[in-house]
Protein backbone atom coordinates (compact mmCIF):
# COMPACT_ATOMS: atom_id res chain seq x y z
CA UNK A 1 0.00 0.00 0.00
CA UNK A 2 1.37 3.41 -1.01
CA UNK A 3 0.95 6.67 0.84
CA UNK A 4 0.13 7.47 4.42
CA UNK A 5 -1.87 4.88 6.36
CA UNK A 6 -5.27 6.28 7.33
CA UNK A 7 -6.72 4.83 10.52
CA UNK A 8 -9.91 5.35 12.47
CA UNK A 9 -9.12 5.70 16.19
CA UNK A 10 -10.02 2.23 17.49
CA UNK A 11 -7.86 0.60 14.82
CA UNK A 12 -4.88 1.76 16.89
CA UNK A 13 -5.96 -1.10 19.16
CA UNK A 14 -6.75 -3.64 16.42
CA UNK A 15 -3.37 -3.13 14.74
CA UNK A 16 -1.76 -4.22 18.01
CA UNK A 17 -4.04 -7.18 18.73
CA UNK A 18 -4.20 -8.59 15.20
CA UNK A 19 -2.78 -12.08 14.81
CA UNK A 20 -3.69 -13.13 11.28
CA UNK A 21 -7.43 -13.68 11.68
CA UNK A 22 -10.15 -11.49 10.22
CA UNK A 23 -13.46 -11.04 8.48
CA UNK A 24 -12.42 -12.33 5.02
CA UNK A 25 -9.38 -13.31 2.96
CA UNK A 26 -9.18 -9.82 1.46
CA UNK A 27 -9.40 -8.23 4.88
CA UNK A 28 -6.59 -10.43 6.21
CA UNK A 29 -4.25 -9.72 3.24
CA UNK A 30 -4.76 -5.99 3.65
CA UNK A 31 -4.35 -6.18 7.43
CA UNK A 32 -1.09 -8.14 6.95
CA UNK A 33 0.34 -5.37 4.77
CA UNK A 34 -0.76 -2.53 7.06
CA UNK A 35 0.35 -4.15 10.33
CA UNK A 36 3.72 -5.13 8.83
CA UNK A 37 4.41 -1.50 7.96
CA UNK A 38 3.23 -0.16 11.31
CA UNK A 39 5.00 -2.74 13.42
CA UNK A 40 8.39 -2.54 11.71
CA UNK A 41 8.94 1.12 10.88
CA UNK A 42 9.59 3.33 13.90
CA UNK A 43 9.02 6.49 11.82
CA UNK A 44 5.70 5.43 10.30
CA UNK A 45 3.10 8.19 10.34
CA UNK A 46 -0.64 7.65 10.39
CA UNK A 47 -3.47 9.97 9.50
CA UNK A 48 -6.26 9.64 12.04
CA UNK A 49 -9.68 10.01 10.45
CA UNK A 50 -13.09 9.80 12.11
CA UNK A 51 -14.67 7.66 9.40
CA UNK A 52 -14.05 4.45 7.45
CA UNK A 53 -10.35 3.91 6.79
CA UNK A 54 -7.79 1.82 4.89
CA UNK A 55 -8.69 -1.31 6.91
CA UNK A 56 -12.43 -0.86 6.38
CA UNK A 57 -11.76 -0.69 2.62
CA UNK A 58 -11.38 -4.49 2.41
CA UNK A 59 -13.93 -5.39 5.07
CA UNK A 60 -17.23 -7.12 4.23
CA UNK A 61 -18.95 -4.96 6.88
CA UNK A 62 -18.25 -1.71 5.02
CA UNK A 63 -21.55 -0.57 3.53
CA UNK A 64 -20.36 2.67 1.90
CA UNK A 65 -17.82 5.44 2.47
CA UNK A 66 -18.23 6.40 6.11
CA UNK A 67 -20.72 3.63 6.86
CA UNK A 68 -20.03 0.35 8.68
CA UNK A 69 -22.70 -2.30 9.29
CA UNK A 70 -21.83 -2.10 13.00
CA UNK A 71 -21.53 1.69 13.30
CA UNK A 72 -23.22 1.88 16.70
CA UNK A 73 -20.48 -0.32 18.13
CA UNK A 74 -17.41 0.83 16.21
CA UNK A 75 -18.15 4.52 16.74
CA UNK A 76 -18.33 3.82 20.46
CA UNK A 77 -14.92 2.09 20.26
CA UNK A 78 -13.57 5.10 18.35
CA UNK A 79 -14.88 7.47 21.00
CA UNK A 80 -13.13 5.50 23.74
CA UNK A 81 -9.79 5.91 21.98
CA UNK A 82 -10.45 9.58 21.08
CA UNK A 83 -11.15 10.32 24.75
CA UNK A 84 -8.16 8.32 26.00
CA UNK A 85 -5.72 10.22 23.77
CA UNK A 86 -7.50 13.55 23.29
CA UNK A 87 -7.34 12.85 19.55
CA UNK A 88 -8.29 15.12 16.70
CA UNK A 89 -8.20 14.22 13.02
CA UNK A 90 -4.69 14.69 11.62
CA UNK A 91 -1.25 13.19 11.12
CA UNK A 92 0.60 11.57 14.03
CA UNK A 93 3.50 9.23 14.69
CA UNK A 94 2.07 5.72 15.12
CA UNK A 95 4.68 4.94 17.76
CA UNK A 96 3.84 8.04 19.81
CA UNK A 97 0.14 7.19 19.75
CA UNK A 98 0.47 3.55 20.75
CA UNK A 99 3.08 4.39 23.40
CA UNK A 100 0.58 6.69 25.14
CA UNK A 101 -2.30 4.30 24.61
CA UNK A 102 -0.46 1.26 25.92
CA UNK A 103 0.74 3.18 28.98
CA UNK A 104 -2.80 4.25 29.82
CA UNK A 105 -4.60 1.01 29.09
CA UNK A 106 -1.91 -1.21 30.56
CA UNK A 107 -1.93 0.68 33.86
CA UNK A 108 -5.05 -0.91 35.30
CA UNK A 109 -5.15 -3.89 37.63
CA UNK A 110 -6.21 -6.21 34.84
CA UNK A 111 -7.78 -5.48 31.47
CA UNK A 112 -10.60 -3.28 32.80
CA UNK A 113 -9.51 -0.14 30.91
CA UNK A 114 -9.33 -1.88 27.55
CA UNK A 115 -12.51 -3.81 28.26
CA UNK A 116 -14.37 -0.55 28.92
CA UNK A 117 -13.52 0.58 25.37
CA UNK A 118 -14.01 -2.55 23.27
CA UNK A 119 -14.83 -5.50 25.56
CA UNK A 120 -17.88 -6.44 23.48
CA UNK A 121 -15.90 -6.75 20.23
CA UNK A 122 -16.25 -10.26 18.77
CA UNK A 123 -12.45 -10.58 18.64
CA UNK A 124 -11.87 -9.57 22.25
CA UNK A 125 -12.14 -13.06 23.79
CA UNK A 126 -10.07 -14.76 21.10
CA UNK A 127 -7.31 -12.30 20.36
CA UNK A 128 -4.15 -11.11 22.08
CA UNK A 129 -5.14 -7.40 22.26
CA UNK A 130 -4.87 -7.09 26.01
CA UNK A 131 -1.63 -9.08 26.34
CA UNK A 132 0.08 -7.19 23.52
CA UNK A 133 -0.97 -3.80 24.90
CA UNK A 134 0.01 -4.64 28.48
CA UNK A 135 3.41 -5.93 27.25
CA UNK A 136 3.85 -2.95 24.88
CA UNK A 137 4.69 -5.54 22.27
CA UNK A 138 4.70 -3.15 19.32
CA UNK A 139 6.30 -0.15 21.02
CA UNK A 140 9.70 0.01 19.30
S1 LIG B 1 -16.10 -3.90 11.04
FE2 LIG B 1 -16.57 -1.79 10.40
S3 LIG B 1 -15.01 -0.53 11.49
FE4 LIG B 1 -14.26 -2.67 11.52
S5 LIG B 1 -12.93 -2.83 9.70
FE6 LIG B 1 -15.02 -3.50 9.10
S7 LIG B 1 -15.99 -1.67 8.21
FE8 LIG B 1 -14.21 -0.98 9.42
Ligand 1 pocket member 55 (CB < 6 A): yes
Distance 21 CA to ligand 1 centre (A): 14
- Show the DSSP H helices in 19-60 as ranges: 25-40
| pLDDT at 2 exceeding the cut of 90 | no
| pLDDT at 109 exceeding the cut of 90 | no
What is the C-alpha to C-alpha distance for residues 3 and 78, in angstroms, rounded to an integer?
23
**Where residue 108 falls among pLDDT bands split at 50, 70, 90?**
confident
Residue 2 burial (CB < 10 Å; 0-12/13-18/19+)? exposed
Interval 19-72: pLDDT, tens: 999 999 999 999 999 999 999 999 999 999 999 999 999 999 999 999 999 999
Phi-psi region of 83 (alpha: psi -120 to 50; beta: other; left: phi over 0): alpha
Averaged pLDDT of the chain: 97
| pLDDT at 1 exceeding the cut of 90 | no
Q: Return the best residue to mutate from 57, 70, 122 for the ligand 1 pocket (most ligand atoms within 8 A of CB).
A: 70
**Where residue 79 falls among pLDDT bands split at 50, 70, 90?**
very high
User: Measured from the CA of 23, which atom of ligand 1 is nearest?
Assistant: 6
Give the pLDDT score at 8: 98
Smallest Cα–Cα separation from 120: which of 88, 80, 83, 61? 80
Domain ranges of the chain: 5-134
What is the C-alpha to C-alpha distance for residues 105 and 100, in angstroms, rounded to an integer?
9
What is the C-alpha to C-alpha distance for residues 88 and 91, in angstroms, rounded to an integer?
9
Ligand 1 pocket member 34 (CB < 6 A): no
Which DSSP symbol is given to 81? Answer: H
**Where residue 98 falls among pLDDT bands split at 50, 70, 90?**
very high
Amino acid sequence: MDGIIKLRPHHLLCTQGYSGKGYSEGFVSNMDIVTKRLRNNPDEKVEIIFTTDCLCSDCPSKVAEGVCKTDEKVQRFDKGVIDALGLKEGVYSYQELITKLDEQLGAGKEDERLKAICGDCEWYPVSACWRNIRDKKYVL
